[in-house]
Amino acid sequence: MENMADMVAKERSGPQRRAAALMDDAAIRMGRGSGLAKLNEAAVRYIRSSEKTTLDLAAELNVTNQCISAIRLRKTWRHVP
C-alpha cells in the first residue's frame, strides 16, 4: 500500500503520467506534424471546398471516406481554416 501511494505521489502511475504528457504542448502535434498524416493543409482546404462526394474524394486522395467525412465535419484538422 505504501508503494502505491508513493507511485501516485511521484506521478508514476498510468493515468496521471498520460495526462501530464497530453498537457505538454510539444506532445501534441497536429496536421502534417503528427508524422502519420496522409494529407496536408492544402488537401484539407480542397476537401472542404469541393462539391464532390465523399466517396469520390476518398478514392481520388487515397484515404477512407470516414477520413473525408471527419475533415468536413471538422472533427479532424480543426486548426485549418
pLDDT-above-70 percentage for the chain = 69
Supply 27's cell numbers: 506532445
Mark out the alpha helices in the chain (DSSP H runs).
Answer: 2-9, 14-23, 41-49, 54-61, 65-72
Distances (CA, A) of 41 to 24, 69, 70, 80: 23, 16, 14, 7
What is the C-alpha end-to-end distance of the chain, expressed in Å?
51
Residues 19 and 47 in one domain: no
Structural domain for 26, as ranges: 1-30
What domain count does the chain have? Answer: 2
Domain check: are 46 and 22 in the same one? Answer: no
* pLDDT tens figures, 12-33: 766 655 555 555 554 556 666 6
Query: Does 21 share its domain with 44?
Result: no
Considering the entire predicted model, what is its pTM? Answer: 0.61
